[in-house]
Structure 1
Amino acid sequence: MIELLKRIKACPDRDSLLDMLGAHFREQGFEGFGYMVPSTEEPGAMVFELRGLPEAWRNIYRDEGLSKSDPFPQYVARHRHPIQLIDVWKSGTLTPAEREFVGRAREGGITDGFLIPTFGSHQQMGIFALGQVTGPEVLQRADIDELQAIMQAAHTQLDRINQQGVFPRLAPREVEILHWIAHGKTNSEIASILNIGLPTVSTYIQRLFAKLEVNDRSAAAVKGVKFGIISV
């Protein structure tokens, strides 16, 4: 795995890196994979790359805008750890639209697999989906920790290749405060939640406003979601 991580870090462009990942995943028994990141143009939407999945499903997903009702990205974003697709399918919390999406996905030939979250240097979340397994034993023998390490390295490199200079760099505490701003908390409430002083909260807010190039809390929250820095 160390050699693969080195190759990922040295990969100079997006297509070559995704091709490399696809070849590795196929060796592990996963014929298809997807890579999704939040859209910078449409808050709440995802930009996606689908490889090795049934062509009919790829066309439907893209042309009919099914990505908007895809429950998988938000599900894994909430849990922030690897999950198995079957666990989402069996979830009792899906909306009717999400259940319809799952039904169409299964009819379209999508099989069980894994969803694995990754986090970039600009707090940009990326989600990898692995599926189209060559046999049930693939899921049983899969080393999730190793897969996540590979995907994290790939996302970091993709973030470096594609997003350098686009996303503002927020400190971890600034991200926390932005999260609570987006949830409507006042400065006093944020200070209490994070157990820090009110002046400290004000200082952090001034800094993140400057980094996001906004002048108010609503604009900061919108931009945070748009850039994938936070999710609500």
Structure 2
Amino acid sequence: MSGGGEKKTKKRKGIGAPTPWDRALFIEFGSILKTQDIFELRRCMLKLARIYGFDALYAVSPLTRNPEFGRHLSCLNFPAVWERQWRRRLFWVDPLIDYCLKHPQVFMWSYVFDKPNLTPAQKRYVAFCRDLGMGEGLGTIVYGPGGRMGFTGFGKPTSRDCFSAQSFQAVATIAQLSFNRYCALSADADGSKPELSPREIEIMAWAARGKSNGDIATILGISRHTVDTHLRRAFRKLGTSDRTVACLKALELGYIQSSEQNFSPQFQIGKPTPPVED
């Protein structure tokens, strides 16, 4: 005790004391909460993922047990062919999504991919992913307001060190903080976000790339009338009849990502065949 009766406290040292590296990570984690839009948030997530040796990620939200509703995808640094096919129909058979709904902890992708009880379609999906170099990573379920759920997968690991206990803890923290921020940015906590179907999202994504209705029909192998119908429904849900405004709203709400506008998918001979049945 000092003469003034005040007790002096000493800075904590030894095991459990914060290190300069810890403080740097706290700052990085805090940057998630400062992001101003969904695109900045995804870039921030990838920056943090790379600290732990993962060079790609994908996020699915909102997550429901019925794949017909929700399962809206955003991803960074995964192959374009996988992204296209996942949006189109592979969301029905992704075993990582099914597993995370029943097991609320961080897990390795290979643990799920190697399970003997996968359906034939899921086994073809796993083979498709492995052909693209997507055979390993970490995944976790995340929780938001109002019972909302999502999934985050971290892929393209650079070494086996990516699967340390520290990495598992860091991935859980990055995913959960990011999902909380995503919910706040998307203004979905109050239930104001319109629900677009997977097909409407897919067609809106192509529209955002500047494709005409005829082009979209050719790309997806459907009729021009079907494209027109889905776009009208999407426009109505988004509260506009203007194509540009609808695309901007879909971007703001997180249904499509700005990265989708930066490439024009080409259908080339030799691309891996998606492992699902018609």
Fold-level similarity (TM above 0.5): yes
2:181 paired residue number:
157
Task: Please give the alpha-carbon distance, in whole angstroms, between the structure 2 residues aligned to 1:85 and 1:108.
Answer: 14
Equivalent position to 1:147, from 171, 183, 188: 171
1:57 paired residue number:
82
1:106 paired residue number:
130
Equivalent position to 1:15, from 39, 63, 73: 39
Letter in 2 for 1:165: D
Q: Where do residues 166-185 of structure 1 align in structure 2 (5 Å cutoff)?
A: 166=191
CA shift, 1:153, in A, is 0.9
Letter in 2 for 1:80: P
Letter in 1 for 2:41: L
Cα displacement string for residues 158-186 of structure 1 (whole angstroms, at most 9, x for unaligned residues): 01111132179xxxxxxxxxxxxxxxxxx
Task: Please give the alpha-carbon distance, in whole angstroms, between the structure 2 residues aligned to 1:167 and 1:79.
Answer: 29
Aligned: 1:70 with 2:101:
no
CA shift, 1:135, in A, is 2.0
* Number of residues of Structure 1 aligned to a counterpart in Structure 2: 167
CA shift, 1:42, in A, is 6.8
1:127 paired residue number:
151
Tell me: CA distance 1:39–1:88, structure 2 relative to 1, closer, same or farther (3 Å). Answer: closer
Tell me: CA distance 1:60–1:109, structure 2 relative to 1, closer, same or farther (3 Å). Answer: farther
Structure index of larger Rg: 2
Letter in 1 for 2:119: T
Task: Please give the alpha-carbon distance, in whole angstroms, between the structure 2 residues aligned to 1:28 and 1:72.
Answer: 21
CA shift, 1:43, in A, is 4.0
Cα displacement string for residues 91-141 of structure 1 (whole angstroms, at most 9, x for unaligned residues): 122111111111111112213111111100221111110111112232246
Query: Contact 2:62–2:71 at 8 Å: present in 1 too?
Result: yes
Task: Please give the alpha-carbon distance, in whole angstroms, between the structure 1 residues aligned to 2:184 and 2:103.
Answer: 25
Query: Contact 2:29–2:174 at 8 Å: present in 1 too?
Result: yes
CA shift, 1:61, in A, is 2.4
Q: Please, what TM-score do these two structures have when normalized by structure 1?
A: 0.65
**SS of structure 2 residue aligned to 1:105:** helix
Query: Contact 2:54–2:158 at 8 Å: present in 1 too?
Result: yes
Letter in 2 for 1:84: M
Query: What's the RMSD between the two structures over aligned residues?
Result: 2.3
Task: Please give the alpha-carbon distance, in whole angstroms, between the structure 1 residues aligned to 2:67 and 2:53.
Answer: 34
Equivalent position to 2:71, from 13, 30, 46: 46
Give the gaps of 5 or more residues in structure 1. 169-232
**SS of structure 2 residue aligned to 1:33:** strand
More helix by share: 1
CA shift, 1:23, in A, is 1.5
**SS of structure 1 residue aligned to 2:33:** helix
2:26 paired residue number:
2
**SS of structure 2 residue aligned to 1:122:** helix
Tell me: CA distance 1:115–1:103, structure 2 relative to 1, closer, same or farther (3 Å). Answer: same
**SS of structure 1 residue aligned to 2:146:** coil
Task: Please give the alpha-carbon distance, in whole angstroms, between the structure 1 residues aligned to 2:85 and 2:132.
Answer: 9
Task: Please give the alpha-carbon distance, in whole angstroms, between the structure 1 residues aligned to 2:79 and 2:68.
Answer: 28
**SS of structure 2 residue aligned to 1:10:** coil
Task: Please give the alpha-carbon distance, in whole angstroms, between the structure 2 residues aligned to 1:44 and 1:101.
Answer: 20
Give the gaps of 5 or more residues in structure 2. 1-24, 194-278
Extract structure 1 runs of 4+ deviating beyond 6 A: 39-42
